[in-house]
Structure formats: structure tokens, C-alpha cells
């Protein structure tokens, strides 16, 4: 009855969503911070960049400073093959300097595909009648989490919601609390989700305070496109998402509400990719200027096919693989301290190539259908998914591949559980100190996963990698080594969740 | 954040500096939000020592680095001094 009542009132719910006073208060002289003329002008002004200038910019990136708009425009205009290779090398060095050789893994968990919006490129848009609509009950959320934490071994999720009165902030809170309560017995210890990141529609300050109280990890909202006119064309004006500014200032509201880890992103393929990278830079500079905190993560998904959604096949702005690799490098150089997320939207081949260019996080064993983990369907079902993913490999397969590439898979969620958040973690990242925490916690959590979930072959590969890491820790961190090794032994003996 | 006033944050930062000087240990403070300990004041060191989180009250915790020179007695002393500060 409650549900029917709420559903009936969805029109009035939609009308009340946008709080204009929570947009205008952040604007400077009534203007938003995406100055398109400036972006186009800078891109034009910095064409055919001088080699010396590019090399100076690379040095600035290496010192972990955010680049200016001019500097990003310069890098975006580099066409010289040798300079591009140099940019790649510096991007790799930055990743190592800030995060070491670890890759954090997570899984997306789609809770609902109900949506009042009607975005042209989205499989979940309101008018797409082909999609089977569903929101998980709390019991179903529990079952999904039991598979993710107890069978696959994930410790970190990104929970994804559409915009709908039935999946409002109350639903978001209840589902996250349900996920955090799940604890499952494993081979040697127990499985649980230790960090829940949230990808949700833009919320008000009051609602964001509710999410903060639940103890979320990162709050993530992608602008999709920073180009005003394209945004208007793709998001019908009579919908909530049609309001560009409500979305643009969402992270301002989050930071004001005290949610101090925020994630931004673009859906590449909606407008010119160079413009979008400039938009991400402006967003970063704006948050740094107003709050002293930049984005905890930047995401750069490319548009993928979705059922009954022709726009996804026909966009003029699709990004080629070559340009995609270049934009990843430029983002790494532009915001050197930020986490960068490459997802299973991309094919295994592209992920393999792009991970090494500076990415810090990726997903695995990914299923994006509603209820897909516990209902155990392995093939993609377009009617239940927002789009079709490019890489359906298991976590175990990914871990083996990463190990072969010299990366250690990390399940670390330590930072946000001991106060390394917001400005604190930004400073540690910029000073190159966080990498040591990353290294130690990667080994400890990888050991947990190997003992609880790995098959014998993966365990053998993983142990070789761990031994190499331990030797490095002994050599590079002699003061910390004794405590580290005692933690490591405790984990081998079955203790769980010990961290630096 | 309203209960974490600027005045309180300043006091917590001062106490963090005091601990650094007197006990040679880094401490910092965090708002407790479920599993999340969200940084609000204090200072971290340049080495990744393990740390212990102690609840000072329902929504506020102190994190103390476990350096080898820090005895349990000193840690307890720091915790009780911190409690006094937040109750002033």
C-alpha cells in the first residue's frame, strides 16, 4: 500500500526534487564554472605545443600538482609520437609514486532499474519498455551481498541506483545498512563488505547528510557531458536529470554535507572527448578552490550498446581506442593524486592496455543485471542491464592476469576506517606517503583473499608475488617491517581485517 | 559537522601537536559514521605505522599510531587527556 501510494505521487516527487537555493549559492556571479568559451579558446591557443613546454608540464605532474586548464589543453594537443610515449611513461611513474603497484578491485551492485528520467543513451530510460523493471528487496540485497562477499570475495562495492521515488534516499540508506550487516563464513575466515561506494542521482544536502551517517565510502555522480547544449539535447528538459546545474553542483552539496570523498566522471561518446577532459579539469579545480578537496576518483566510461537504445550505436562522438588511451594518460597527468577507475565496460584487451597507464581501481566478476549475482546468470541479459559490458571475466582470472603484469590486487578499505579521508588522504597522496599504506594493506588483504577464495594455481601465483612484495617492504620500510610481518603472520593464522 | 565547531577542531589540532612533542607520537581525530572514520583534525606521520582507533564518545574517535616507543600506559594517558578536552 505504501509503495502504491508513493508510486502514485511520483509526479509531485519529481517536482520537489530540485532545490534551486542549493545550486545558486555556489555559483559565481550567477554563472557556472564550465566556461565553454574558455575551454575552446585554450584548446585552440595551445595547438602544436612546444616540446620544452610539454616536458615542463610533465615535471609539474610528477611533483603531484594539479595542472591548469592551459596545461591540460597543451597535453591534449600533443600529436608527436615520442612525446606521447613520454607522457605514458610519466603517467606510469605517477601511478607508482602515489599508489604503488596495487590495483584495488570492487564490484558494481545494481539495486534498481526504476527511473523517472529519459536520457537518450540509457537502457534504463523511462520510455524504454523493453527493460524489465525491478528494485531489489532488502532480502534480495542480502542474498546478492552474500554471493559477492562470501563466494567471490569482494570487500568493496559500488552500489548503483536509478532516480525514482521507490528508490529514494530512504531506500538507499536501508540497502547500504543491509549490505554492511552481512557476514559470511569462508574457508579460513569470514567475508564481508567493508566499503560501500555509492553511484546515485544528485541528492540534496539534507539527503547527503543521511548517506554520510550510514558511513558510505565515495559518493559518485557523473556529469555525463559538461557541454551544455549536448546535455540539453540528451536529457529531456521535463525530467530531473534535464537540469544541468542540479547535477553539476552535486559534489559541492556533498562536500558541504560532510561527505568528503567524492567521485566525478564523464560518459565519453556524448560530446568531443577533449572538451570533456577540460570539463573534468575545471570541475577538479573548482572543488579544490572552494573546498580544498579534489575528486577522490575520476571515472571515464565509454558509451556501450544498450537494448532498444539506438543512440548508443550512432553517436558522432564515439571515442576510438587510441584516443581513449590518450585521454586516460592526460587525466592521470592532469590530476595526479586522484584514483582512476577503469571498468568492465571495456574489453579485456583494452583494460589490459589501459590499466598500466595510471589506473588505480577496476571491477571483476561483474554482473550489472538486477539480482544477477544471486540468480547466477552468467550470460549477459540485455533486458535486465543498463548496457552490455565488455569483460565478463571472474575476479580470479583478473587477479592472475594482474599478477602476470606485476600488479598486486588489493582489497584494502583501511583508509576510510581510520580517518584517512578527505583532505587528510589528499595530502598523503600528494606527498607520496599513501603509497606505503597501499603497499602494506595490499599484501595483507591479498593474503586474506588467497586463503579464503583462491584455487591452488592462483594461490601459487599470488604467493610468488607476495614474497616479492615482502622483500621490497623489508628493504624499503625497515622501521615498519617487524610490525608488518607480525600482522601478516596473524592473517595467515586466520585473523581478519588487520590493517595499517 | 555542527557539533565539531572550529574551536573544538583547533583544540584537537593543538592536542595533536602537544602529543607529537611530548610523546613523539602522531594522533588524529575522526568522526565515527558506521564503519567510516572520517578525518576531522590532527596530524599523520611520514611512515605507515599501524594505528589503533579508540572511541572517545559515540561519534568521535582518536587514532593513535602504534610506534614501538609508545607504551600502553602512555596510550591510555593520551586517550584520557583527549576525553578531557572534548568534555571541556
Q: How far apart are CA B39 and CA A426, in angstroms?
A: 11
Contacts of B5 in chain A (CB under 8 A): none
**What is the rounded distance in angstroms from the CA atom of residue A242 to the CA atom of residue A312?**
19
Domain ranges of chain A: 10-29+94-427, 41-91, 434-492
The shortest CB-CB distance from A417 to any of B35, B42, B44 is to B35
pLDDT(B2) > 70: no
- Number of A:B CB contacts under 8 A? 87
pLDDT for A3 equals: 47
B43/chain A closest Cα distance in angstroms? 8
- Residue-wise over A448-486: b if at least 16 C-beta within 10 A, else e? bbbbbbbeeebeebbeebbeebbeebeeebeebeebbee
- Asked if A195 lies within 8 A of B33 by C-beta distance, the reply is no
CATH of A10-29+94-427, one of 3.20.20.70, 3.40.50.970, 3.40.50.920, 3.30.70.1400: 3.20.20.70
How much of chain B, in percent, has pLDDT values that exceed 90? 70
CB contact under 8 A, B66 and A416: no
Nearest to B63 among A419, A440, A482 (CB): A419
H or E, element range at B64: strand B60-65
What is the distance in angstroms between the Cα of A183 and the nearest Cα belonging to chain B? 14
Residue A53 buriedness (CB in 10 A; 0-12 / 13-18 / 19+)? middle
Chain A residues touching residue B37 (CB < 8 angstroms): 416-419, 421
C-alpha–C-alpha distance, residues A145 and A183, integer Å: 9
Give the residue from chain A lying closest to B33, CA to CA: A215
Q: Which of A418, A401, A402 is nearest to A410 (CA)?
A: A402
Q: What is the ipTM of this complex?
A: 0.83
When CB atoms are compared, the residue of A180, A420, A428 closest to B35 is A180
The grid coordinates listed for B8 are: 573544538
Q: Whole-angstrom Cα distance, residue B81 to residue B23?
A: 13
Contact list in B for residue A498 (CB cut-off 8 A) is: 50
Mean pLDDT value across residues B35-45: 88
Q: Which residues of chain A have pLDDT under 50?
A: 1-4
Count Cβ atoms within 10 A of the Cβ of residue A52 and give its class: 0-12 exposed, 13-18 middle, 19 or more buried: exposed
Q: What is the pLDDT of residue A9?
A: 64
Burial class (CB in 10 A: 0-12, 13-18, 19+), A74: buried
Residues of chain A with Cβ-Cβ distance to B40 below 8 Å are: 419
Distance from CA of B33 to the nearest CA of A (A): 5
C-alpha span between A231 and A376 (Å, rounded):
36
Amino acid at each position: 500500500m505504501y509503495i502504491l501510494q508513493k508510486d502514485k505521487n511520483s509526479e509531485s516527487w519529481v517536482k520537489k526534487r530540485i532545490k534551486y537555493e542549493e545550486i545558486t549559492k555556489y555559483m559565481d556571479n550567477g554563472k557556472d564554472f564550465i566556461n565553454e568559451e574558455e575551454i575552446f579558446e585554450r584548446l585552440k591557443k595551445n595547438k602544436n605545443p612546444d616540446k620544452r613546454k610539454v616536458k615542463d608540464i610533465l615535471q609539474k605532474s610528477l611533483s603531484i600538482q594539479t595542472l591548469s586548464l592551459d596545461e591540460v589543453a597543451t597535453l591534449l594537443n600533443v600529436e608527436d609520437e615520442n612525446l606521447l610515449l613520454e607522457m605514458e611513461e610519466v603517467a606510469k611513474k605517477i601511478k607508482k609514486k602515489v599508489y604503488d603497484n596495487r590495483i584495488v578491485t570492487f564490484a558494481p551492485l545494481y539495486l534498481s532499474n526504476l527511473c523517472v528520467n529519459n536520457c537518450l543513451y540509457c537502457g534504463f530510460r523511462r520510455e524504454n519498455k523493453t527493460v524489465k523493471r525491478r528494485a531489489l528487496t532488502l532480502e534480495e540485497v542480502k542474498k546478492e551481498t552474500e554471493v559477492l562477499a562470501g563466494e567471490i570475495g569482494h570487500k568493496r562495492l559500488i552500489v548503483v541506483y536509478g532516480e525514482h521515488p521507490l528508490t529514494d534516499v530512504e531506500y538507499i540508506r536501508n540497502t547500504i545498512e543491509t549490505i554492511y550487516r552481512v557476514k559470511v563464513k569462508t574457508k579460513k575466515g569470514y567475508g564481508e563488505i567493508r566499503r560501500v561506494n555509492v553511484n546515485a542521482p544528485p541528492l540534496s544536502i539534507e539527503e547527503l547528510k543521511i548517506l554520510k551517517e550510514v558511513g558510505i565510502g565515495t559518493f559518485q555522480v557523473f556529469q555525463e557531458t559538461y557541454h551544455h547544449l549536448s546535455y540539453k539535447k540528451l536529457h529531456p528538459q521535463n525530467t530531473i536529470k534535464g537540469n544541468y546545474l542540479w547535477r553539476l553542483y552535486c559534489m559541492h552539496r556533498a562536500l558541504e554535507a560532510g561527505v568528503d570523498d567524492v567521485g566525478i566522471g564523464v560518459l565519453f561518446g556524448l560530446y568531443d572527448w577533449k572538451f570533456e577532459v577540460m570539463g573534468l579539469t575545471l570541475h577538479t579545480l573548482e572543488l579544490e578552490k572552494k573546498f580544498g578537496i579534489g575528486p577522490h576518483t575520476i571515472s571515464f566510461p565509454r558509451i556501450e550498446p544498450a537494448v532498444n537504445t539506438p543512440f548508443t550505436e550512432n553517436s558522432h562522438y564515439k571515442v576510438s581506442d587510441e584516443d581513449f588511451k590518450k585521454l586516460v594518460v592526460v587525466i592521470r597527468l592532469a590530476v595526479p593524486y586522484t584514483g582512476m577507475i577503469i571498468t568492465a565496460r571495456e574489453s579485456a584487451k583494452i583494460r589490459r592496455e589501459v590499466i598500466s597507464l595510471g589506473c588505480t581501481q577496476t571491477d571483476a566478476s561483474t554482473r550489472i543485471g538486477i539480482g544477477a549475482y544471486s540468480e547466477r546468470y552468467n550470460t549477459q541479459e540485455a533486458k535486465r542491464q543498463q548496457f552490455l559490458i565488455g569483460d565478463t571475466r571472474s575476479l580470479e582470472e583478473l587477479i592472475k592476469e594482474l599478477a602476470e603484469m606485476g600488479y598486486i590486487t588489493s582489497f584494502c578499505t583501511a583508509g576510510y576506517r581510520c580517518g584517512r579521508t578527505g583532505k587528510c588522504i589528499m595530502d598523503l597522496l600528494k606527498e607520496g606517503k599513501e603509497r606505503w599504506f597501499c603497499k602494506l594493506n595490499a599484501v595483507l588483504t591479498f593474503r586474506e583473499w588467497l586463503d579464503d577464495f583462491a584455487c591452488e594455481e592462483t594461490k601459487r601465483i599470488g604467493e610468488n608475488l607476495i614474497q616479492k612484495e615482502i622483500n621490497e617492504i623489508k628493504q624499503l620500510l625497515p622501521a615498519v617491517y617487524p610490525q608488518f610481518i607480525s600482522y601478516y603472520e596473524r592473517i595467515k593464522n586466520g585473523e581478519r581485517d588487520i590493517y595499517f | 559537522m555542527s557539533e565539531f565547531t572550529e574551536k573544538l577542531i583547533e583544540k584537537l589540532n593543538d592536542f595533536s601537536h602537544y602529543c607529537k612533542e611530548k610523546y613523539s607520537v602522531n594522533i588524529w581525530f575522526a568522526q565515527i559514521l558506521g564503519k567510516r572514520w572520517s578525518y576531522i583534525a590532527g596530524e599523520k606521520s611520514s611512515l605507515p605505522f599501524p594505528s589503533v582507533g579508540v572511541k572517545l564518545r559515540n561519534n568521535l574517535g582518536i587514532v593513535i599510531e602504534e610506534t614501538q616507543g609508545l607504551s600502553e600506559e602512555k596510550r591510555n594517558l593520551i586517550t584520557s587527556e583527549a576525553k578531557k578536552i572534548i568534555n571541556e
